[in-house]
Amino acid sequence: MIKYNLLLALRSLIKQRKYAFINIFGLALGLACFILITVWVKDELSYDRFHEDAENIHIVFRKHKDKRAAVSSKLLAPAIKNEVPEIAEATCFMQLPEAFKSTFEYKEKSFTELFALADLEFFKVFSFPLIRGEPDQIFKTPSYILISERASMKYFGTMDALDKNIFITVLGEKKLLTVKGIMKNIPHNSHIQTDIILPLEFMNQFGINWDVWYNQSPTTYIRTESNISIAQLEEKILACKQGHFLEEDLSYEVMPITKVHLNSSGVEYFTTTGDIKYIYIFSAIAAIILLIACMNYMNLSNALSLKRSREIGIRKAQGSRRIQIIQQFLGETFILVFIALALALVLVQLGLPLLNFIAGKSLTIEYTSFQFISIILLVAVLTSIVSGIYPALFASDFQPIQVLKGKFISSPQSAKVRQGLVVFQFVLSIVIIIVTITISNQLHFIQNIDLGYDKEHVVCVALRGDVSNDLEAFKNEILASGHVSKISRSGRIGVNTLSRTEGVNWPGKQDDFQTWVLHVDENYAETYGLEMAEGRFYSRDYSTDLSNGFVINQKAAMEMGFENPIGQQINVWGRQGTIIGITKDFHFSSLYNKIEPLLFRIPDPDQVNSRCSSLSMRIKPNSMPQSLNYIEEAWKSYFPAQSFDYYFMTDRLKVNYLSEARMGTLFKYSSIFVVLIACLGLYGLTAFNVEQKQKEIGVYKVMGAKASDVILLFLKGYFVRIILAALIAVPIAWYAMSQWLSNFAYRTELSWWIFVLAGLIALGIAMLTVSWQSWRAAMRNPVESLRYE
Amino acid sequence: MIDLKNIFKYYNHKSQREYILKDINLSIKEGEFVSIMGPSGAGKSTLLNIIGLLDGFNEGEYRFFDTEVATLKEKKKVDYHRNHIGFIFQAYHLIDEMTVAENIETSLVYKGIKRKERQAIVADLLDRFNIVGKKDLFPAQLSGGQQQLVGIARAIASKPNLLLADEPTGNLHSSQGKMIMEVLKELNDEGTTIIQVTHNNVFANYGKRIINLLDGRIEKAE
């Protein structure tokens, strides 16, 4: 029995190879997309789970008013470990920002790298496996250093790096370090990513004092007892903190590190590429793609079963039970799905590099792992059941008396189901097209919005260490060369590198006032093309500017509440001065946020190296490559020890929207696949209809119908269905997209043309698909089709 | 074996009622060979389908092997199809994707007969109808007469007591038709009850009894 059904299934596959191909290919595409997205989702969900006791490791976020930040005082960790009984261990860890990129040297090998800082408790909380060294020794003195296998290979090759010396040049000073630990490379699914970790105390020698409650720099991680109440823990941490140092509007949020990767977007001083939103969205897309593929199968095999009605009739007349026919049809579906699955695995392997490119990952798939095999088998079985059950029920319901009489069964009911499925597929397709257009629209919008400054033609070079000796000469040379019109040394904007302070005071200050601080020199406004609203920017012509002048933006002026801000006395971090100018507001942060108060500050002379780690140059627009070359050459001759590490302002701004851009690309591909699969189904269905109506077409043609009349006959029905699909899709997409856009403080309109365009795209592609088939039918010689019977 | 009393079959078209069969009274005993004749639309095929439990009726009483058909459960009907009734069709209705041997074997599969035994039965039938050489061919590769032979072989494979043939020779040349009728006659001689529907006077006479249908009524029964 099974053997016969198998044989029969294979023979009918071969006989109906056109439809079998469409079915298999559609299912394979659907399965491949589903598997790829699942692999990505699984990876996103796997973050930070490799630590022993991972569910009891938490990150402590500091919440001030509504802002969450991943920083706390260095004193918090030891204090809560001592005073809060639920906390077993606590550690401070800090990933230093770009500005602290430093040069590490071993003999002739020298690299510029980012590094991180940690305290002695680091290994009591985290379980990054050590290859060499003792966990309780590694951060014991400020000159010890922990490196990864990768870094060890880079600096020491195959040598044992333990106890080797390595030099670091940071903030212009060269220090000697000793390698006291080598750890395995941190897995890619860890939110902590670094190859080099130094003790927190290392920074003390640069006059940085973090052992105070009012400084918030490192991130605090804790390991707790099992099954504790997070809410109570947060209360106790707050109580402990307030006992040492009282702050208003403060609270703490404790989050398991297994959740950090996906739930921390928007947390200050924390970068994550993950977002739980995207997990939901793409899981839904994976399901939709697979569902559309299943619907293709349903539709096509439902239609094809009409062709097999005689076979079913005979079987029933011979005494086959309905359940046996259902088994037969489901069995055929299983065979088809498993062929499709094999093809899908090939597509997955081919598509993996694309996924990695889009998602910015380097995922691999362990095809032979038990987990992978059981997942794909489960998916295949589910797919078979979802796709196969309707056609099986439908076909097994044929009455032998009718089919054996040779009557053509048109079954208006099943035709309606098929039409309904086509409409549903196109609703989903159109929604996804609208989403894709809207996202790319918004990306275009934020990349082209008037930021309030001129971001074009600005090249920024990272400054490391002490460059004060040669910088003036360098600046003079390239200015004289004519390649560069303006140069400014400053902190960085456009990324989350600014600091925010409450330390601005003035007589009569009433409300709390917070402002971002940007360290600049007097050329900043000119270099970036900032416009002044009132007063003037810092200038060399006024000797007092550098020591006691302040420039703020309009928003800051407004929030300070001065009627006449120019000339007002304010005190910033203990430096008393006068407001000399107000710039027009400009977007110095990402467009998620409204413009906030900003204060420009000239750093104290001894802090220039650490505060202003970026050199911005406005290049003359028409000869960018040559100019860049020239600057690089000059840079190398002046600062041979420093790498020429540059970026264009426009590129740096894109980083802010990287995750949106990724999502945009993912949607672009998803929509291509969704539409492709839906059209594949439509193609098959039209082919079937054309076949069914061959005689009808023949008769029409004999009666004098033109080819266009025949094509129209087929187009008409689909035209109406796709318009209907568009009408259903538009409100759904409109709602979803207005929700998404509300994340942005600055956003495009959801204009009507997006919806019209999406509808037209779907309509156009569908009409092309249908026309191709019907055109061929229309061109056939009617005698041929009428000769049948 | 077959007992039809006052059988009516009709369709309701809006307010009008269209009768297919009117007041059919017919009794057929085991071992009979009955030919049903009549012009197109007289209700011959419908009558045959009702007898074969493929179609229902609106009024009357039908006893099949002393069982009241109206109250027969679906499961029991399936059982009759498996073991007691065989069908032969005008258009043969072979399964295109199956070889000759496989086509014959299918009806045995549903009966739950073991593989070895099935193959023996199929071999016997192929032998009997002289189509051993064609056993691995597909229906499309056979002539009409040969296809109908396969259709008969399939129908009798499960040794039914009752063979229903709906114009078995309708699509065949007369010489091939004659051959088919000879086969049916032989089967009848062996004890199989046969009811055939036919337009052909000559072939009708192979039957021991002829029923003439006109407009849904039995006009003349010999």
Which amino acid is present at A654?
Answer: K
Q: Among A35, A674, A26, A676, which residue's Cα sits nearest to residue A345? A: A35
Whether residues B82 and A319 touch (CB distance < 8 A) is answered with yes
Nearest to B93 among A4, A401, A404 (CB): A404
Nearest to A311 among B55, B95, B107 (CB): B95
pLDDT computed for residue A716 by the predictor: 86
Cα dihedral across residues B152, B158, B163, B165: positive or negative: negative
Whether residues A15 and B45 touch (CB distance < 8 A) is answered with no
Whether residues A401 and B98 touch (CB distance < 8 A) is answered with no
pLDDT computed for residue A508 by the predictor: 82
Average pLDDT over residues A330-349: 93
SS3 of A715, please?
A: helix
pLDDT at A644 exceeding the cut of 70? yes
Q: Which of A308, A314, A323, A335 to mutate to test the interface with B (most CBs of B within 10 A)?
A: A314
Which amino acid is present at A119?
Answer: D
Give tens-digit pLDDT for A222-252: 999 998 999 999 999 999 999 998 888 899 9
Per-residue burial over A309-323, b = 16 or more CB atoms within 10 Å of its CB, e = otherwise = bbbbbbbbbbbbbbe
pLDDT band, residue A507 (cuts 50/70/90): confident
pLDDT at A168 exceeding the cut of 80? yes
> Residue A315 — φ and ψ, nearest 5°?
-55, -40
Average pLDDT over residues A12-37: 89
pLDDT computed for residue A202 by the predictor: 92
pLDDT band, residue A494 (cuts 50/70/90): low
- Whether A320 has its CB under 8 Å from any CB of chain B: the answer is yes
* Neighbouring C-beta atoms of residue B72, cutoff 10 Å: 15
Q: Among A374, A475, A438, which residue's Cα sits nearest to residue A751? A: A438
pLDDT computed for residue A788 by the predictor: 44
Give tens-digit pLDDT for A71-122: 999 999 999 999 999 999 999 999 987 767 888 999 888 888 889 999 999 9
- Whose tokens are 């945009």? That residue is A664
Whether residues A400 and B54 touch (CB distance < 8 A) is answered with yes
pTM score of the predicted model: 0.78
**A352-366, A446-460, A697-711, B64-78: range with lowest mean pLDDT:** A697-711
Q: Which of B110, B111, B147 to mutate to test the interface with A (most CBs of A within 10 A)?
A: B110
Nearest CA in chain B to A12: B97
Give yes or no for a contact between A458 and A616, defined as CB atoms under 8 angstroms apart: yes
pLDDT computed for residue A411 by the predictor: 66
pLDDT computed for residue A465 by the predictor: 67
> Could you tell me which residues come within 8 angstroms of residue A234 by beta carbon, excluding any fewer than 6 positions away?
A251, A252, A253, A254
Alpha-carbon gap, residue A298 to B79, rounded angstroms? 31
pLDDT computed for residue A77 by the predictor: 94
Q: Among A684, A699, A630, which residue's Cα sits nearest to residue A26? A: A684
pLDDT at A496 exceeding the cut of 60? no
Residues in chain A: 789
**pLDDT more than 90, % of chain A:** 36
Tokens of B166: 């709906």
Element housing A629 (H / E): helix A624-638
Nearest CA in chain B to A320: B110
SS3 of A589, please?
A: coil
Question: What is the residue-averaged pLDDT of chain A?
Answer: 87
Average pLDDT over residues A506-532: 88
> Which residues of chain B lie closer than 8 angstroms to A7, CB-CB?
102
**A253-257, A280-284, B105-109, B210-214: range with lowest mean pLDDT:** B105-109
Whether residues B52 and A317 touch (CB distance < 8 A) is answered with yes
Q: Nearest-CA distance from A7 to chain B in Å?
A: 9
Whether residues A320 and B49 touch (CB distance < 8 A) is answered with no
Average pLDDT over residues A159-171: 89
- Whether A402 has its CB under 8 Å from any CB of chain B: the answer is no
Alpha-carbon gap, residue A295 to A684, rounded angstroms? 12
pLDDT band, residue A1 (cuts 50/70/90): low
Nearest to A321 among B54, B78, B97 (CB): B78
> Could you tell me which residues come within 8 angstroms of residue A185 by beta carbon, excluding any fewer than 6 positions away?
A148, A149, A150, A195
Whether residues B93 and A401 touch (CB distance < 8 A) is answered with no
Element housing A148 (H / E): strand A144-148
Which amino acid is present at A728?
Answer: I
Alpha-carbon gap, residue B34 to B165, rounded angstroms? 10
- Whether A397 has its CB under 8 Å from any CB of chain B: the answer is no
Which neighbouring-strand residues pair with B11? B18
pLDDT at A695 exceeding the cut of 90? no
Give tens-digit pLDDT for A449-481: 888 888 888 988 888 767 778 888 899 998 888
> Which residues of chain B lie closer than 8 angstroms to A305, CB-CB?
none
Average pLDDT over residues A123-148: 92
pLDDT computed for residue A239 by the predictor: 94
Alpha-carbon gap, residue A747 to A261, rounded angstroms? 26
Q: In the CATH hierarchy, which fold is given to the domain comprising B2-221?
A: Rossmann fold (3.40.50)
> Could you tell me which residues come within 8 angstroms of residue A285 by beta carbon, excluding any fewer than 6 positions away?
A37, A432, A667, A670, A674
Q: Which of A17, A318, A322, A408 to mutate to test the interface with B (most CBs of B within 10 A)?
A: A318
Q: Highest mean pLDDT range out of A96-105, A182-191, A265-274?
A: A182-191
Nearest CA in chain A to B151: A314
Whether residues A319 and B89 touch (CB distance < 8 A) is answered with no
Whether residues B107 and A324 touch (CB distance < 8 A) is answered with no
Nearest to A401 among B49, B109, B111 (CB): B49
Count CB pairs under 8 A between chains A and B: 66
> Which residues of chain B lie closer than 8 angstroms to A12, CB-CB?
97
Nearest CA in chain B to A308: B95
**A534-538, A589-593, A748-752: range with lowest mean pLDDT:** A589-593
pLDDT computed for residue B4 by the predictor: 92
Alpha-carbon gap, residue A259 to A58, rounded angstroms? 9
Q: Nearest-CA distance from A788 to chain B in Å?
A: 14
Alpha-carbon gap, residue A730 to A591, rounded angstroms? 27
pLDDT at A763 exceeding the cut of 50? yes
> Could you tell me which residues come within 8 angstroms of residue B157 by beta carbon, excluding any fewer than 6 positions away?
B86, B104, B105, B107, B108, B121, B122, B125
ipTM, two decimals, is 0.71
Widest CA span in chain A: 107
Give yes or no for a contact between B17 and B23, defined as CB atoms under 8 angstroms apart: no
pLDDT at A640 exceeding the cut of 90? no
Round the CA-based radius of gyration of chain A to a whole number and report it: 34
> Could you tell me which residues come within 8 angstroms of residue A573 by beta carbon, excluding any fewer than 6 positions away?
A501, A503
Give tens-digit pLDDT for A43-71: 999 999 999 999 999 999 999 877 788 99
Alpha-carbon gap, residue A464 to A171, rounded angstroms? 6
Whether residues A313 and B93 touch (CB distance < 8 A) is answered with yes
A480: exposed, middle or buried (Cβ count in 10 Å: 0-12, 13-18, 19+)? exposed
- What are the residue ranges in chain B where pLDDT is below 50? none
Q: How far is CA A219 from CA A122, A193, A201, A422, in A?
A: 12, 14, 15, 53
Q: How far is CA A291 from CA A268, A677, A685, in A?
A: 39, 10, 17
- Whose tokens are 């290979």? That residue is A153
Average pLDDT over residues A608-629: 84
Number of Cα atoms under 13 Å in the Cβ half of residue A614: 26
> Which residues of chain A lie closer than 8 angstroms to B159, CB-CB?
none
Whether residues B106 and A315 touch (CB distance < 8 A) is answered with yes
Give tens-digit pLDDT for B24-72: 999 999 999 999 998 888 888 889 989 988 888 999 999 998 888 888 8
> Which residues of chain A lie closer than 8 angstroms to B160, CB-CB?
none
CA angle A91, A503, A73 (to 5 degrees): 5
Round the CA-based radius of gyration of chain B to a whole number and report it: 18
> Could you tell me which residues come within 8 angstroms of residue A741 by beta carbon, excluding any fewer than 6 positions away?
A438, A442, A747, A748, A750
> Which residues of chain A lie closer than 8 angstroms to B72, CB-CB?
none
Alpha-carbon gap, residue A486 to A475, rounded angstroms? 9
* Neighbouring C-beta atoms of residue A85, cutoff 10 Å: 10
**pLDDT more than 70, % of chain A:** 96
* Neighbouring C-beta atoms of residue A388, cutoff 10 Å: 23
Whether residues A319 and B109 touch (CB distance < 8 A) is answered with no
Element housing B21 (H / E): strand B16-28
Alpha-carbon gap, residue A607 to A781, rounded angstroms? 88
3-state secondary structure A77-120: HHHHHHHCCCEEEEEEEEECCHHHCEEEEECCEEEEECCEEECC
Q: Nearest-CA distance from A14 to chain B in Å?
A: 10
pLDDT computed for residue A405 by the predictor: 66
Whether residues A319 and B106 touch (CB distance < 8 A) is answered with no
pLDDT computed for residue A789 by the predictor: 40
Average pLDDT over residues A415-427: 88
> Which residues of chain B lie closer than 8 angstroms to A318, CB-CB?
81-82, 87, 106-107, 110, 154, 158
Q: How far is CA A702 from CA A262, A697, A771, A775, in A?
A: 66, 9, 21, 16
In chain B, where are the structural domains located? Answer: 2-221
